[in-house]
A and B are shown apart, each in its own frame.
Chain A
Amino acid sequence: EIVLTQSPGTLSLSPGERATLSCRASQSVSSSYLAWYQQKPGQAPRVLIYGASSRATGIPDRFSGSGSGTDFTLTISRLEPEDFAVYYCQQLRTFGQGTKVEIK
């Protein structure tokens, strides 16, 4: 069973700063099945990135994904006020525990 570990648990940053979120798999996984989601309070998750690096429809280009094997990264180049939320990685039937990006 694959386990996805996200770090850090919480990221405290200011608007305009760069956010780097990590997702580490317990064993090598296919990049094709690695996705990132954003969830805001009271809302359903929204897909940001699929296939480790492809942006979903309508997602701003400040969001980017990278990685392969066991290590994957979601980068938000310049945080906008609406980006403060919880982010999850997913590999097929497994989710990471989430990283909360909060305003510093």
Chain B
Amino acid sequence: EVQLVESGGGLVQPGRSLRLSCAASGFTFRDYAMNWVRQVPGKGLEWVSAITWNGGSVGYADSVMGRFTVSRDNAKSSLYLQMNSLRPEDTALYYCAREISFGSAWHLDSWGQGTLVTVSS
């Protein structure tokens, strides 16, 4: 069974940093690109970042470009999101999600339960 478990969220002051982790199990982690998606409670979904299977290519939403860094450790089956210079508008539930990307089958097929980040003084 595919499992994705996020951790590392919490309350942080504006301008500070936080590192999120996503522990993967039940599949061969190194075979898949991974994504981070966030959701302000009660609001819609916002794509944040993605990383290819080997970390060779990454992408970011304009709203986090230059402040967030995505990385992965395939040996540990783990995905990370380093968040610097945090702003109140970064407050959200952060999900990691596995990407399926072959042929006409692109989608995010497995999601964790999310970790809540609250940016407030």
A44-B95, A44-B113, A50-B100 known; A90+B46 contact, CB < 8 A: no
B113 and A54 contacting across the interface, CB-CB below 8 Å: no
A45 at the interface (CB under 8 A from B): yes
CA distance A98 to B107 in the complex (A): 17
B1 at the interface (CB under 8 A from A): no
> Which range holds the interface residue count of chain B?
20 to 34
A32 and B46 contacting across the interface, CB-CB below 8 Å: no
B45 at the interface (CB under 8 A from A): yes
User: Closest approach, in angstroms, between the C-beta of B84 and any C-beta of chain A?
Assistant: 21
Dominant SS at the B interface? Answer: strand
CA distance A56 to B2 in the complex (A): 15
CA distance A97 to B46 in the complex (A): 9
A74 proximity list for chain B (CB < 8 A): none
A32-B103, A93-B61 known; A88+B109 contact, CB < 8 A: no
Q: Looking at the complex, which one of A32, A56, A98 makes contact with B45 (CB distance below 8 Å)?
A: A98
Give the contacts of B73-121 with A (CB-CB under 8 A): 95, 100, 103-109, 111-114
A44-B112, A93-B59, A93-B61 known; A50+B105 contact, CB < 8 A: yes
- A residues near B, CB below 8 A? 31-33, 35, 37, 39, 44-47, 50-51, 54, 56, 88, 90, 92-98
- B residues near A, CB below 8 A? 37, 44-47, 50, 59, 61, 95, 100, 103-109, 111-114
